[in-house]
Each structure stands twice: as structure tokens, then as C-alpha cells.
Amino acid sequence: MTPVFELNHLQVSLRGKKRNTDLVKGVSFSVKQGECLGILGESGSGKSMSIKAAMGLLDKNFVVSGSAKFQGDELVGKNAEQLRRLRGGQVGIVLQNPMTCFDPLYRIGNQIAETFAAHQKWDAGEIKERSIEMLDKMQIRNPEEALEKYPHQLSGGMLQRIMIGIAMSMEPSLLIADEPTTAIDAITQFDILNEFAVIKQKHKTAMIFISHDLNAVSQIADKIVVLNQGTVVDQGDFHHIIHHAADPYTRRLIEKRTDVMRKYRQALEGGECSHAQAG
């Protein structure tokens, strides 16, 4: 089966006056239909940079080489308009900062409608119906009121959920989520991760889930790639990453997660003891 999306020796450099600085150093991975690839790494590891380079989201200060293919079609070298048509339709992208993705001068409903109209053959009535349905699924209270609001009138978490909902509504062949649950509380995060899983299973959507949070990645990813300083340092399924990671950086990430989970359990047990003593 041809991968829906694959990188082969992708390299990204930042142009300098005297020499270029390498940021992504020969990254290779692939994701198939109905599969979720988790890209794990700390800030500056190159995980977001790799995807932005492939999707034409970097400016002319960056040099991109190597290969990035979507459904067998080479993306490196395509012009900005070709890549723009791809994004939002066949490829859905949920970026990390929702505030930069909405125009502050237009109501949320108008911006959702514009996206839907650009990629679907829905009339105005169906667009509004689908918008309300999407907001409700993303747990936005009073969705009809939300459509009339401007971006600054909604929280970052609400905008993030709306952005996820728009991307999912397009039923893309590939859904890229870059730290999609960062601004969202733990309970809503759990529900949205479940929604990602449903979309993947129901529509056989290929997904790339980028995060620094191993716990979030473990809930949705079928396989995991770990990046450090622009290089792939480990890859495999969750069991491999937890139990057989060869790279010291990966093991440190696992130890951090284990330590957080241990403290969480201790806090719960402490709370239970307090309740028992009070009783």
C-alpha cells in the first residue's frame, strides 16, 4: 500500500549571511491510510518544522530539500498556490496557536462558512447546519451564539476546538495535528482524543499527531517517531518506545512521563486517605 504521506531525507536549513544553519537533518517517516503517526519531541526538536516545510508553510528564509510526498505526488518544489489548495481540503492542518488562524475582524461563523464553501458544495443552509453540528461535537456551548462572536470573544481552548472541528469536517485524506490539545483542559482533551480516534477508524484517515506529551501521543498513535535536534532518534510502536528505546533522549522522555504518572497516583491515593480519615 502506498503511504498517504512520506518524508524521505527531508532537510531544512535557515539562510544565514555567511552560512546556512541546519534545522532538520534528513528526516524520514511515513503514514498509511487509517494509521496515526505520533511525532514526539521537545520544543526545537524539528517536529513541527518538518511538517511545515513539507506543506509549504515556511517563508523564503528557509531552504528545503529532500522529498515529501502526498499520495505519491512530490510536494517539495510545488508553488504556493498548489500547496494552498491542498491544505484545508485533502490535507487538514490543526496548528498550535489558534489565535493566529482566525481573522480578528470577522465573526467565527463567517470564517467557518468561508472554509466550508471553498471545499464543499454545500448551500448556505447546510453550511450553517453543519457549523452548528460541528461546534456541538467540539463541546462549544450555545453554538448558534458562538457563530456570531469574534475570535477575541472566545478562549484559546475554544478556538482550538473549533479549528480541530473545521479540519475534521473536511474529511481529509491526511489530518495533521500540531500540539492540538495544548490549550485544552484534561477532560476535554480526553474527549477530543477520542474524536480523533473515531475519525481515524470511521473514515480511514491517515493522521500525524505532533506533541511533546508522550501520554497524549500514546492514546492515539499506532506508531511513534521521536525527534531530537532535527534528527530521528527512535521509532516504533508505543510498547517499543516504552520498553526498548535505545536513545538516551527517548528514555529521559519516558522517565519524565513515568514520574508525572507516579506523582499523580500518589496525589490520588493521598486524597483517598484524607477522605477515609475524615470519615
Boundary (domain end) residue, out of 124, 154, 171: 171
Rounded Cα distance between 52 and 269, Å, is: 43
Residue 78 lies in a domain: yes
Contact status, residue 40 vs residue 218, Cβ threshold 8 Å: no
Residue 9 maps to which CATH number? 3.40.50.300
Grid coordinates given for 212: 511533546
- Do 8 and 70 share a domain, yes or no? yes
Position of cell 484524607?
A: 274
Residue 147 lies in a domain: yes
- Do 8 and 84 share a domain, yes or no? yes
Residue 14 lies in a domain: yes
- Do 79 and 195 share a domain, yes or no? yes
- Do 188 and 151 share a domain, yes or no? no
- Do 69 and 188 share a domain, yes or no? yes
- Do 52 and 34 share a domain, yes or no? yes
- Do 7 and 65 share a domain, yes or no? yes
Grid coordinates given for 88: 484545508
Rounded Cα distance between 249 and 226, Å, is: 9
Q: Could you tell me the residue range of the domain that residue 160 belongs to? A: 107-171
Residue 69 lies in a domain: yes
How many whole angstroms from its chain centre is CA 86? 17
Helices 108-119 and 156-169: angle between axes, nearest 10 degrees: 20
Beta strands in 88-173 (DSSP E): 91-94
Rounded Cα distance between 45 and 134, Å, is: 33
pLDDT at 88: 74
- Do 179 and 154 share a domain, yes or no? no
Run of H or E including 145 = helix 143-147
Domain count, the chain: 2
> In Å, what is the CA distance from 199 to each residue of 18, 36, 193, 195?
47, 11, 10, 6
Three-class secondary structure of residue 57 per DSSP: coil
Reduced DSSP (H G I as helix, E B as strand, rest coil) percent helix, strand, coil of the chain, to 5: 45, 25, 30
- Do 177 and 230 share a domain, yes or no? yes
Residue 71 lies in a domain: yes
Q: How many C-beta neighbours within 10 Å does residue 236 have?
A: 17
Rounded Cα distance between 89 and 112, Å, is: 13
Rounded Cα distance between 220 and 206, Å, is: 12
From first to last of its 279 residues, the chain has per-residue pLDDT tens of 789 999 999 999 999 988 999 999 999 999 999 999 999 988 889 999 999 999 999 999 999 999 999 999 999 999 988 898 888 788 988 877 767 789 999 999 999 999 888 878 899 999 999 999 999 988 899 999 999 999 999 988 788 889 888 888 888 899 999 887 766 677 677 777 887 888 888 888 999 999 888 888 888 899 999 999 999 999 999 888 888 888 888 888 888 777 766 775 677 666 544 444 444
